[in-house]
Amino acid sequence: MSAPTLDRPAAPDEAALQAQFDATIAADHRIEPRDWMPEAYRSGLVRQIAQHAHSEIIGMQPEGDWLLAAPSLRRKAILLAKVQDEAGHGMYLYSAAETLGADRADLTDKLIERKQKYSSIFNYPTLTYADVGVIGWLVDGAAICNQVPLCRSSYGPYARAMIRVCKEESFHQRQGYELLMTMMRGTDAQRAMVQDAVDRWWAPSLMMFGPPDDDSPNSAQSMKWGVKRHSNDELRQRFVDMTVPQAEVLGVTLPDPELALDPATGRYRFGAIDWTEFKQVIAGKGPCNDERIARRRAARDDNAWVTEAATAYAGKHSR
Ligand SMILES: [Fe+2]
Ligand SMILES: [Fe+2]
């Protein structure tokens, strides 16, 4: 029998670590960066958080296009604040991914090389100023439905980042709705602009919740690990139930003849979603995919000198 070495405690075996991880998840406690975690949990989270961060950063583009054409100083100040918030959301999320060992520059490279995805919604163009309002109302509204449950995600840094993000998304949704309310009180031409924007953004907004549950390969494992709390279809239904009464108050028609309240459930039934379009946009063939990536690439390349200078400066100070 060999004596145990006193200077080096035996490393806990993987089964014990796994058991501890499982117990933490079962007790609904948080996993923190220094905790042991299964590799699939880590890599799955990096994939999800990176995709989320990329969506925030690419999501600055459609509305950013209207910054110079905002109709008043007040609207410009609101839109500027909103677009800056989205940049901040991207930064919190890249930081959360870094706690899992990911490298921020590497994630950006993967986005530009189309090895990682971002939300399909940001590949549609913003044709009029009403689109700014509709994005705030519908796109940020859908983002809130998706993100509020992530405040209880099992991974601590992701959950904590989401608390602040959700507070800001709530402001985004309200500024969009307030803009639309103002336009709806305006001229016939303004009301027609709002309706046209709603017609174009409604279906893509429903697609933001991802594919239907029976075609969502990563969902079951994410739910088991407490990273995700509700299924895609459940979140989509919540969004529809929340939005229909808002559309009525606003005075717009949602472009779905099958949309109707189901008296038995108190929830709204809605028509089939064009998943072929969704898959095409995800595959890079949406109206603006090439433009979005080209701009992100230019931003990385044109500003590389800033990163270099900041890195050199930080290096000098740490020496
Ligand atoms: Fe955001
Ligand atoms: Fe937002």
pLDDT in tens, 244-296: 999 999 999 999 999 999 999 999 999 999 999 999 999 999 999 999 999 99
Task: Calculate how far, in angstroms, residue 241's C-alpha sits from the geometric centre of ligand 1.
Answer: 22
Q: For residue 10, what pLDDT is reported?
A: 63
pLDDT at position 207 over 90: yes
CA dist., res. 172 & res. 121, Å (int): 16
CA 127 to chain centre: 22
Ligand nearest the Cα of residue 118 is 1
For residue 49, with 0-12 CB atoms within 10 Å meaning exposed, 13-18 middle and 19 or more buried, which class applies? Answer: buried
Going from the Cα of 172 to the center of ligand 2, the distance in angstroms, rounded, reads: 5
- CA 144–ligand 2 middle distance (angstroms): 8
Phi first, then psi, for residue 155 (nearest 5°) are -95, 115
Per-residue pLDDT at 284: 94
How many A from CA of 165 to the centre of ligand 1?
6
- Predicted local distance difference test score (pLDDT) of residue 7: 61
pLDDT of residue 261: 97
Q: What is the mean pLDDT of residues 124-133?
A: 98
Distance of CA 145 to CAs 27, 94, 264, Å?
24, 21, 23
Q: How confident is the model at residue 217 (pLDDT cuts 50, 70, 90)?
A: confident
In the chain, which residue ranges form alpha helices assigned H by DSSP? Answer: 14-26, 39-58, 60-64, 73-98, 104-112, 130-134, 140-147, 156-184, 188-207, 219-224, 232-250, 275-280, 289-302, 304-318
Separation of CA 85 and ligand 2 centre (Å):
7
Q: Determine the pLDDT at residue 317.
A: 93
State the ligand closest to the CA atom of 53.
Answer: 1
Confidence at residue 45, expressed as pLDDT on a 0 to 100 scale: 96
pLDDT exceeds cutoff 70 at 25 = yes
pLDDT score of 24: 96
The pLDDT value recorded for residue 6 is: 56
The mean pLDDT value of the chain amounts to: 94
What would the pLDDT profile of 183-194 be if each residue is shown by its tens digit? 999 999 999 999
Residue 203: Cβ within 10 Å count: 18
